[in-house]
A and B are shown apart, each in its own frame.
Chain A
C-alpha cells in the first residue's frame, strides 16, 4: 500500500530561525514528489516538485531535497517569517496513473 509519513506532526519556532520538515514514502513506482503549503482555511498551494533524477529544488526560502534511494524528502525553510505559519504537506505521485498519495502534514507555527 502506498504511504507517505511526515514528521514532526507539529513544530513551533521563533521568527528568523531555520527548520527542516521530513517526509518518508513507500509509493511505487515513483513519479514525482511535491511539497504543498496550506494556510488555514485555504486550499494547498504547490511549493516545489521533484522527479526521480532531481535531488534538490529551491523556491525562495524553501529548499526541498529528495533521496530516491532511501525514499526520503525534506523541506528546509530558511529565515522563517510569520507568514510561514501553515501546514506543509508532502505528496507523492505514482508512475503511470499519477494518482497522488498525501501525507498528514506538518503544522508549523512561527512566533514573533
Chain B
C-alpha cells in the first residue's frame, strides 16, 4: 500500500514570498490533516478535512495560510506571504475515518514532510 506522498521535500524562500505544498493521501482515506512542526516541538494541527469539507481550522493563520482539498483527494497548503517564523516542517497525514467514524480506527498515517526555511 502506497503511503502519504508530499512534495517538495525541501523549500527555501525569502520572507514575503509565496510557497505551496502538495499532499496525496492514502487512497480511500476520508480525512486529511496538515500540521506545522517547529524544531523541537510536537506537530500543531493547522487544518483537518473530511472528504472536501473542513472539520477544524481554528489554528490556521488565515491571513496568510490557505488550504484546499479538491475532489476530496489531493490537498495543497499555501503560505502568502511567508514570515521568518513559518520556518518549520509541514506534515500531511491521512486517516481512514474521521468525524462521526470509528474513532478507534482513526490512526493517522504521516507523509515525510516538507521542510520550509524562510530567510
A interface, CB within 8 angstroms of B: 6, 31-32, 34, 41-46, 49, 51, 89, 93, 95-100, 102-105, 107
Determine how close the nearest CB of chain A comes to the CB of B103; give it in whole angstroms: 4
In the assembled complex, the Cα of A31 lies from the Cα of B102 at a distance in Å of: 10
B111: nearest residue on chain A (CB-CB)?
A: A43
Contact B110 A99 (CB under 8 A): no
- Inter-chain contact count A-B, CB under 8 Å? 63
In the assembled complex, the Cα of A42 lies from the Cα of B115 at a distance in Å of: 11
In the assembled complex, the Cα of A34 lies from the Cα of B103 at a distance in Å of: 12
Determine how close the nearest CB of chain A comes to the CB of B15; give it in whole angstroms: 24
Contact B103 A44 (CB under 8 A): no
Contact A43 B93 (CB under 8 A): yes
Contact B4 A105 (CB under 8 A): no
Contact B48 A99 (CB under 8 A): yes
A105: nearest residue on chain B (CB-CB)?
A: B42
- For the complex, count residues of B whose C-beta is within 8 A of A: 27
Q: Please report whether the interface of chain B is mostly helix, strand, loop or mixed according to DSSP.
A: loop
Q: Which of B4, B42, B48, B98 contacts A103 (CB 8 A)?
A: B42
Within 8 A of A (CB), among B38-52: 40-45, 48
On whether A43 and B110 interact (CB within 8 A), knowing A97-B99, A98-B98, the answer reads yes
B72 an interface residue at 8 Å Cβ cutoff? no
Contact A93 B93 (CB under 8 A): no
On whether A43 and B104 interact (CB within 8 A), knowing A97-B99, A99-B56, A102-B44, the answer reads no
Q: A99: which B residues are within 8 A, CB to CB?
A: 45, 48, 55-56
A100: nearest residue on chain B (CB-CB)?
A: B45
Q: B107: which A residues are within 8 A, CB to CB?
A: 34, 46, 49
Q: A93: which B residues are within 8 A, CB to CB?
A: 103, 106
